[in-house]
Chains A and B, each alone.
Chain A
Amino acid sequence: MASTTILSLALSLVASASAQVIYATSYNDHAVTALNLKGSTLSVLSKSYDCGSEPTWLTLDYAKSVLYCLNEGWGGNASITSYKTSADGALWKQNILPVLKSPVASTLFGPDNAALAVAY
């Protein structure tokens, strides 16, 4: 039993080292896209449309597997969307907070990255 556990742990480490997830946003398709980077090849893992019409900036809290997305909101309302991320590229929406128009950049700060600063 113990040896089985060790084996599966080793396998999951290999899996995460051989592939990398890249997150990207675009005004064109209004999506947050998770891409798999393997060697020099990119492939789409998932797309989310939960960051409004102008997803513009992403901040990743890698340790907590949380991704924050800013929606600039030119045509509608601006917002911040929080996602839980997973190694397979799935994005799980946690919250959407309406904010002042035109947020364009953010950074995490504070103890345990408990706060997000936003420039408008």
Chain B
Amino acid sequence: MRHSRWHTSKSDEVERESRTVRSILTCRSDTSSFGTFSVGNVAALSQLQKETYTLAAPGPVADRQDAPHLHHAILDPTKKYILVPDLGSDLVRVYKINGTSVWAVAPVKAVPGSGPRHGAFAVAGSSTFFYTLNELTNSITGYTVAYKDAGPEFTRVFDFSSHGPGGSVPKGTKAAEIVVSVSDLLLRVAS
């Protein structure tokens, strides 16, 4: 009994330690911003815009969602919008492009606690789809995209394991990368 309790507290300690390590890593990579740069002259790069975000309260996965973590920047197929999955805020931020300027339009709300990390578009005929790979739940969320005058509208059509519907992943897995194969419209995922 005592022996097993010792094991429990030891594993709690390991878990606490690993949480500390994770939070140090998180702090290291946290400036919660989106920026744009002029690169027309490759020998003289310069900043254009910068937007920094905050969270009023931590998200459902508090140790990873203590602050906004903007993790990817994706140009949409029309080249009129940039999508930015924000792991800390459970959002996909959307920016409308005008020349080399951008401004934020309504973001896409992700599944709470999912932590969207990377995204990818697929165009099939006249239909456009957007997928996010979610690090905290190891899941893929699929959206249909409808382009309206006010901007693109995203409708969530599925959310399932990054190892496929009904699938499961080994403990400690962190979904990292998603790519759409242009030849066969297959989603490929790396963890």
Which A positions have Cβ atoms within 8 angstroms of B?
64, 66, 68, 72, 74, 80, 82, 84, 94-95, 97, 99-120
Given A80-B45, A95-B43, A101-B31: A110 and B74 within 8 A (CB)? no
Partner of B33, one of A64, A74, A120: A120
10 closest A-B pairs by CB: A119-B70, A115-B100, A114-B40, A110-B100, A120-B33, A97-B45, A107-B73, A102-B29, A82-B42, A120-B31
A115 touches B48 (CB 8 A): yes
Given A101-B31, A110-B100: A66 and B42 within 8 A (CB)? yes
Number of A-B contacts (CB under 8 A): 108
- Whole-angstrom CA separation of A72 from B25 in the bound complex: 12
Q: Is B61 an interface residue (CB 8 A)?
A: no
Chain A residue nearest to B28 (CB atoms) is A74
Which B positions have Cβ atoms within 8 angstroms of A?
28-40, 42-48, 50, 70-75, 79, 82, 84, 95, 97, 99-100, 102, 118
B32 touches A120 (CB 8 A): yes
Give every chain A residue within 8 A of B34 (Cβ-Cβ).
117-120
Given A100-B35, A100-B50, A113-B39: A118 and B45 within 8 A (CB)? no
Chain B residue nearest to A68 (CB atoms) is B39
Give every chain A residue within 8 A of B45 (Cβ-Cβ).
80, 82, 95, 97, 116
- Whole-angstrom CA separation of A99 from B48 in the bound complex: 12
A97 touches B48 (CB 8 A): no
B29 touches A82 (CB 8 A): no
Most buried by B among A82, A105, A107, A115: A115
Given A82-B43, A108-B39, A111-B100, 20 other A-B residues pairs in contact with their CB atoms under 8 A: A84-B42, A95-B44, A95-B45, A97-B37, A97-B47, A100-B35, A103-B35, A104-B29, A104-B70, A109-B79, A110-B97, A114-B40, A115-B38, A115-B100, A116-B37, A117-B82, A117-B102, A118-B37, A119-B84, A120-B32
